[in-house]
């Protein structure tokens, strides 16, 4: 494939409304829901670049730990097969918050497309910004993802069309610990 001329498009569906709030879970899982964004197998070639950006809101009770990230190859509101990047599971910046802002950004390149469950290799990194209040002039905490250099390279299965999305984990399962995805953009460049 010739390099220098890239086709960039956003994977459908294009969001026109916020997704439903998700709560009562502790294992890292999809929080975007259905319908999912799908990368066609025909697009997965060495050098394909993904630019993932998402934002939304969280509400907490008590002092839960929290984690955000990007996943590949999973079902709606389920644990994914492959986590491309995830922040550490750390204490939320404040004990209780309602409707606080979060934002994440991750970019990665598909470096290998071999066969089998571990034939593909993504390399990338990003960050998540998490507001600690909803008052004017609130502060935010930036969490790097993934947390180590070794976790930037992830093997995966690229033998079929694959979903990609944003995920989260709570340290405490509670109906009051909720996350909502307002927007998820996945730009595929190849």
Q: Tokens 């995966």: give the residue.
A: 156
The two beta strands, 29-30 and 162-170, are: antiparallel
Which of residues 2 and 187 earns the better pLDDT score? 187
2 within some domain? no
CA distance 157 to 168: 21
101 within some domain? yes
1 within some domain? no
pTM across the whole model: 0.92
44 within some domain? yes
68 within some domain? yes
Total number of domains in the chain = 1
Q: Are 114 and 120 in contact (CB under 8 A)?
A: yes
Q: Are 181 and 30 in contact (CB under 8 A)?
A: no
3 within some domain? no
| pLDDT at residue 24 is higher than 50 | yes
Nearest CA to 168 out of 34, 10, 33, 63 is that of 33
> Range with the lowest mean pLDDT among 41-45, 131-135, 147-151?
131-135
Structure tokens at 8: 């960039």
Of 21-30, 114-123, 139-148, highest mean pLDDT? 21-30
pLDDT at 1: 46
Q: Count CB-CB contacts under 10 A for residue 8.
A: 10
Q: Mean pLDDT for the chain?
A: 91
Instruction: Tell me the sheet residues that pair with 51.
Output: 107, 187
pLDDT at 98: 87
What domain range includes position 181?
A: 8-189
- Number of residues assigned to the chain: 190
| pLDDT at residue 144 is higher than 70 | yes
């Amino acid at each position: 494939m010739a390099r220098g001329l890239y086709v960039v498009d956003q994977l459908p569906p294009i969001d026109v409304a916020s997704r439903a709030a998700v709560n009562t879970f502790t294992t890292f899982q999809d929080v975007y829901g259905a319908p999912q964004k799908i990368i066609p197998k025909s697009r997965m070639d060495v050098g394909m670049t993904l630019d993932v950006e998402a934002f939304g809101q969280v509400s907490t009770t008590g002092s839960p730990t929290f984690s955000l990230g990007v996943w590949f190859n999973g079902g709606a509101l389920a644990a994914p097969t492959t986590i491309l990047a995830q922040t550490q599971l750390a204490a939320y910046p404040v004990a209780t918050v309602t409707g606080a802002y979060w934002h994440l950004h991750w970019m990665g390149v598909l470096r290998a497309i071999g066969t089998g469950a571990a034939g593909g290799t993504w390399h990338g990194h990003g960050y998540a910004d998490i507001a600690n209040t909803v008052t004017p002039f609130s502060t935010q905490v930036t969490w790097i993802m993934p947390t180590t250099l070794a976790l930037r390279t992830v093997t995966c299965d690229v033998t079929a069309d694959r979903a990609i999305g944003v995920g989260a984990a709570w340290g405490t399962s509670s109906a009051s610990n909720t996350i909502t995805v307002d927007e998820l953009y996945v730009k595929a460049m190849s």
